[in-house]
Amino acid sequence: MEGIKKAFARAKSESRPALVTYTTAGYPTIAETPAVLLAMEAGGADVIELGTPFTDPIADGPTIQGANTQALANGTTTTNCLNIVRDARKQGLRAPVLLMGYYNPLMAYGEERMLQDAKKAGVNGFIMVDLPPEEAVRFRQHCINYGLSYVPLIAPATSEKRMKTLCGIADSFIYVVSRMGVTGATGALSTGLPALLERVHKYSGGVPAAVGFGVSTREHFVEVGKVSEGVVIGSQIITTLRQANAGEGAKAVEEYCYGITQRRNPQVSQVDGQNGSDSTNGGMSGISTDANPGGDGSGWISHAHGEAPKDISTADPTKQPASESDPTNGTVHVDAVSHGTDGPGLADQLEALNTGDPDETDPELMPSRFGEFGGQYVPESLMDCLAELEKGFDDARNDPAFWEEFRSYYPYMSRPSSLHRADRLTEHVRKDAKPGMGANIYLKREDLNHTGSHKINNAIGQILLARRLGKTEIIAETGAGQHGVATATVCARFGLKCTVFMGAEDVRRQSLNVFRMKLLGASVVAVEAGSRTLRDAVNEALRKWVERLDTTHYIIGSAIGPHPFPTIVRTFQSVIGNETKEQMLELTGRLPDAVIACVGGGSNAAGMFAPFANDASVKLLGVEAGGDGVDTARHSATLSGGKPGVLHGVRTYVLQSAEGQITDTHSVSAGLDYPGVGPELSGWKDSERAKFVAATDSEAFIGFRILSELEGIIPALETSHAVFGAMELAKTMKESENIVICLSGRGDKDVQSVAEELPTIGPKIGWDLRF
Ligand SMILES: Cc1ncc(COP(=O)(O)O)c(C=O)c1O
């Protein structure tokens, strides 16, 4: 903590802003990173942020996300990150180092252990991008116990009250995330920045502030330095590393930093042979080669060389034109390929958010947690827009006129969906069951809804909400394409602009649905980042949403994400369970004994289960995607095989490595191929209100085949998991008992996948369709 304070004090005494530089640990290689840290210091950096890589960095732009992906591919672990600091200290690094990252890897490592090990390695503090305020206060207290600093983040949209609180917990400096509007080549500041800094200074009690945004040139640095005590540069350093020749990254970074600061700390220079950039070298020239675990910068000499600073501009985002589609062979035209938007990410998000005061929202609006799960693990930027959404949704759900409007679209949606007994399926189950056993199986036919699945319930509800909030554009993510199709449909119906983000791999797998969305007038953007699947589509949609918050609503497709999304989605999907209750009472005179649903993110399950949650006699069974088996690495059974963590802004069960990195998932059904799950389902699991099992790809195929052949209903592959799970459950229940399967979708979209998979899966289950 002291080291950071001294670094800012030194810069102040020299009448210049402090330079705070960022790089990602393990990029471009683990071995080079200590040299990169030394190079930053040599080029005049006063404080260093070392990014600990994470698979799903929702607050970062594509440059830093790309560095994260590369670092993880290089095998960078939390232990490596600490060793990088240790090595750099051994080699003479004096600048204070802050670890900057996301909460999940920290949770996985263990907070206590992390603080102990970080202290020993020579780390000075932490910046946690997605820690909600209440946890930040707790974590900061923990940091203080170890003499480490916790640096809070402040955004342009941060309210006065919140700013006061955040400034109050700052012990070394405050990270102000803003964005500069550059006009021409002069690097003029946006008018908002001085006013923002004025507000920060009002509450900071003399604690310095450093401004982070897309700074790339000396001119920007000087301009920003006029209103703040420090300036943060991140993406441009990563770009410098990326563009450098192999092995010359450190040298390039030193030159770049020098171009910004026009000062050097020569004792650790990587340039002109003053010190080798070889991190194993350890030999230092210059004033001091002693290890400096305190990171207090002692021994620094600042002097300006006469060289002219280099002007390095920020790279523009890449957009790729769409190609011709041919859905018959799986190639389909998309409107853009998103490599994301460049820039500081977090800054972009914050700039866009100038909504209401979160402190004015009623904390009792609706619970944000389900037991320990739920919450809002999002960058400060998102807090206000989530508060706006929560308020808007709360008003809507308490307004009878809103529900009247929702119901007025039932004819369009084909609601209520029918419910009937599956006679031949019931008989089939009884053949394999003990005498007297084999429950009656009923089907709740969400597959008969307009667009072919339950997704339309949520899409209609949310578009009505969006209109109430005055939004004119809709964005959505999709995996299998069903939610994308439902969203594109309602956008066509209501005349709203629609953009759907879809992982590039899913675009390939679900090309027919891409074509359907385009037929409906939506733009489809293929997301090339990360694993190129649903989770990357969610990341990208979240980023895009905060950039255009004033005009845009994000229709999230499952009961996932930060509060209030899981509650919003569950509320609109509860039509499934509510109708089931009424229809079963009418048909059988009593409640069902069990209800069953497949679980991807959990929206059809939450919609079926929630209305029965207080009916203790009704068993709730969720069936997840077991892929090749939950004991293998290839499955998507989050509740069965995952552990609590944080993904996409919410605390819930997550499929993750021991390091807290989100793992790649597999399922034969794209709609269940997701490493997280709705927090309400996690709550039901831990309270044992619901039970969750997994069906493998082969078992799902059995369910698919049986429902097709015995009931004349081709179910979606997602739904087929629930069919199999229900058959197993029915066998264990009495003939007098009744169970209801949520038939979440129809299988037309999956016919091609089934044909492709049959040669592999068919022989395992004795299903041969060759003519
Ligand atoms: C037919 C169908 N069922 C289920 C799901 C899984 O989603 P959730 O768990 O949110 O209901 C999907 C997702 O695409 C789907 O298309």
Q: What per-residue confidence (pLDDT) applies to 290?
A: 37
Encoding tokens for residue 56?
């799903």
DSSP 556-605: -SSS-SSTTHHHHHHHHHTHHHHHHHHHHHHHHSS--SEEEEE-SSSHHH
pLDDT at 232 over 90: yes
Distance between Cα 519 and ligand 1 center (Å): 22
Ligand 1 pocket residue status of 451, Cβ below 6 Å: no
Determine which of 245-259, 531-545, 736-750 has the lowest per-residue pLDDT on average: 531-545
Ligand 1 pocket residue status of 600, Cβ below 6 Å: yes
- The residue with greater pLDDT, 531 or 657, is 657
Q: What per-residue confidence (pLDDT) applies to 307?
A: 38
Residues shown for the chain: 771
Domain 327-410+452-569 has CATH 3.40.50.300: no
**C-beta of residue 234 within 8 angstroms of C-beta of residue 64:** yes
Ligand 1 pocket residue status of 466, Cβ below 6 Å: no
Is 327-410+452-569 the same fold as 2-267? no
- The residue with greater pLDDT, 156 or 430, is 430
Ligand 1 pocket residue status of 53, Cβ below 6 Å: no
Q: Which atom of ligand 1 is nearest to the CA of 606?
A: 11
Task: Supply the CATH classification number for the domain 417-449+573-765.
Answer: 3.40.50.1100
Distance between Cα 603 and ligand 1 center (Å): 7
pLDDT at 423 over 70: yes
**C-beta of residue 25 within 8 angstroms of C-beta of residue 84:** yes
Of 450, 454, 721, the residue with max ligand 1 atoms within 8 A of its CB, to mutate for a pocket test, comes to 454
**C-beta of residue 300 within 8 angstroms of C-beta of residue 265:** yes
Q: What per-residue confidence (pLDDT) applies to 260?
A: 97
Specify the CATH superfamily of domain 2-267: Aldolase class I (3.20.20.70)
Ligand 1 pocket residue status of 716, Cβ below 6 Å: yes
Q: What per-residue confidence (pLDDT) applies to 349?
A: 34
Ligand 1 pocket residue status of 178, Cβ below 6 Å: no
pLDDT at 342 over 80: no
pLDDT at 21 over 70: yes
Ligand 1 pocket residue status of 457, Cβ below 6 Å: no
* CA 76 to each of CA 90, 91, 393: distance values in angstroms, whole numbers, following the listed order: 20, 20, 42
Q: Of 485, 497, 493, 470, nearest to 408 (Cα)?
A: 493
With a pLDDT cut of 70, the percent of the chain lying above it is: 85
Distance between Cα 271 and ligand 1 center (Å): 56
User: Of these residues, 49, 223, 506, 697, which one is catalytic?
Assistant: 49
Q: What per-residue confidence (pLDDT) applies to 521?
A: 98
Ligand 1 pocket residue status of 478, Cβ below 6 Å: no
Ligand 1 pocket residue status of 671, Cβ below 6 Å: yes
User: What is the rounded distance in angstroms from the CA atom of residue 212 to the CA atom of residue 349?
Assistant: 12
Q: Which atom of ligand 1 is nearest to the CA of 602?
A: 9
Pairing of strands 473-478, 18-24: unpaired
pLDDT in tens, 58-113: 888 888 999 999 999 999 999 999 999 999 999 999 999 999 999 999 999 999 99
Distance between Cα 528 and ligand 1 center (Å): 23
User: Of these residues, 32, 41, 60, 229, which one is catalytic?
Assistant: 60
**C-beta of residue 277 within 8 angstroms of C-beta of residue 250:** yes
**pTM assigned to the model:** 0.88
Q: What per-residue confidence (pLDDT) applies to 605?
A: 98
pLDDT, the chain, mean: 87
pLDDT at 187 over 50: no
With a pLDDT cut of 90, the percent of the chain lying above it is: 72
| pLDDT class of 463 with cuts at 50, 70, 90 | very high
Of 445, 623, 669, the residue with max ligand 1 atoms within 8 A of its CB, to mutate for a pocket test, comes to 669
Nearest CA to ligand 1 atom 15: 671
Domains of the chain, by residue range, sit at 2-267, 327-410+452-569, 417-449+573-765
User: What is the rounded distance in angstroms from the CA atom of residue 524 to the CA atom of residue 589?
Assistant: 47
Q: What per-residue confidence (pLDDT) applies to 362?
A: 56
Q: What per-residue confidence (pLDDT) applies to 164?
A: 86
3-state secondary structure 482-528: HHHHHHHHHHHHHCCEEEEEEEHHHHHHCHHHHHHHHHCCCEEEEEC
Tally DSSP H helices, then E strands, for the chain: 30, 24
Ligand 1 pocket residue status of 482, Cβ below 6 Å: yes
* CA 469 to each of CA 355, 398, 462, 487, 665: distance values in angstroms, whole numbers, following the listed order: 12, 15, 10, 17, 36
User: What is the rounded distance in angstroms from the CA atom of residue 25 to the CA atom of residue 30?
Assistant: 7
Q: Which atom of ligand 1 is nearest to the CA of 672?
A: 6
User: What is the rounded distance in angstroms from the CA atom of residue 205 to the CA atom of residue 539?
Assistant: 36
pLDDT in tens, 746-763: 999 899 899 999 999 999
pLDDT at 389 over 70: yes
Distance between Cα 390 and ligand 1 center (Å): 24
Distance between Cα 691 and ligand 1 center (Å): 18
Of 598, 621, 667, the residue with max ligand 1 atoms within 8 A of its CB, to mutate for a pocket test, comes to 598
User: What is the rounded distance in angstroms from the CA atom of residue 653 to the CA atom of residue 374?
Assistant: 10
**C-beta of residue 450 within 8 angstroms of C-beta of residue 489:** yes
**C-beta of residue 562 within 8 angstroms of C-beta of residue 376:** yes
User: What is the rounded distance in angstroms from the CA atom of residue 339 to the CA atom of residue 537?
Assistant: 11
* CA 48 to each of CA 97, 117, 127, 298, 564: distance values in angstroms, whole numbers, following the listed order: 5, 18, 11, 15, 36
49 is catalytic: yes
